[in-house]
Amino acid sequence: MEAIECIKGRRSIRKFDERPVSHELIESIVATAAMAPSWKNTQVTRYIALEGAAKDALAKCTTIWPKNGDIINGAPMVIAVCAVSKRSGYEKDGSFSTNKGDKWEMFDVGAASEAFCLAAHEAGLGTVILGLYDDNAPEVIGVPEGQELIALIPIGFPAESPKAPRRKEVSDLLSFR
Ligand SMILES: Cc1cc2nc3c(=O)[nH]c(=O)nc-3n(C[C@H](O)[C@H](O)[C@H](O)COP(=O)(O)O)c2cc1C
């Protein structure tokens, strides 16, 4: 698949069929996402794949937005995307490198997550990034000490093919100086 076709064709998928996602396939998608750029190549993004009982427990951590619980329940696997704390945007002595403080780790995880979703799309899988989950989700998932949960990505074979939500015009997005 051509890169532009992949970028334009990817959609958020919220309904999945019954087929499981193999560990080998997720490993190959993470290997592609690992090629995403990161602050000083710190590579702070981590992926925890949840299936079965672990995924069922996570689905309950969606009282803030119950529709996300339905998506998780209907997906064969959910990836908890985490960031190793206090690396991205930091100098070796622990001080911030820029006035954006620790926000660069969000940037890095965002870039890696998009690469993950595009690699999944190329492999015929659907994904959706979920930012709405309850505060107890990291504990339920078992996010390791020193990492922060950033987003959840349910993944599976699509059972829907939604149209792209309307995008802004380039003239609204781009300006020249
Ligand atoms: C940071 C982030 C958080 C999001 N959180 C949610 C969410 O909690 N629930 C949901 O259904 N979709 C969520 N989405 C998906 C967006 O709604 C979706 O990307 C947007 O509507 C554009 O649609 P598309 O991805 O099909 O192009 C999120 C996307 C991003 C990037």
According to the model, what pLDDT value does residue 17 have? 97
**Shortest-distance Cα residue to atom 29 of ligand 1:** 129
Domains within the chain, CATH numbers bracketed: 17-157 (3.40.109.10)
> What are the pLDDT digits (tens) for 61-85?
999 999 999 999 999 999 999 999 9
Q: Is the pLDDT of residue 50 over 90?
A: yes
Q: In what order do the strands lie in the sheet with 77-84?
A: 45-50, 77-84, 147-156, 126-127
52: left (phi over 0), alpha (psi -120 to 50) or beta: left
Each residue's pLDDT tens digit, 146-156: 999 999 999 99
* pLDDT attached to residue 53: 98
Q: Which atom of ligand 1 sits closest to the CA of residue 133? A: 8
Ligand 1 atom nearest to 67, measured from its CA: 11
pLDDT tens digit string along 4-42? 999 999 999 999 999 999 999 999 999 999 999 999 999
Looking at ligand 1, which residue's alpha carbon is closest to its atom 15? 129
Ligand 1 center to residue 129 CA distance, Å?
A: 5
Binding pocket residue ranges, ligand 1, CB within 6 Å: 11-12, 14, 65, 68, 128-132, 164-165
Q: How far is the CA of 98 from the centre of ligand 1 (A)?
A: 28
12 CA from centroid of ligand 1 (Å): 7
d(CA 103, CA 163) in angstroms, rounded, equals 32
Residue 111 CA to ligand 1 centre (angstroms): 15
CB-based contacts of 124, cutoff 8 Å, min separation 6: 157
What is this structure's pTM? 0.98
Q: What is the mean pLDDT of residues 51-58?
A: 98
The confidence score (pLDDT) of residue 177 equals 98
Query: What is the structure's pLDDT at 1?
Result: 80
Integer CA distances (angstroms), 132 to 26, 41, 120, 125, 128, in order = 23, 28, 21, 22, 12
Residue 105 has pLDDT above 90, yes or no: yes
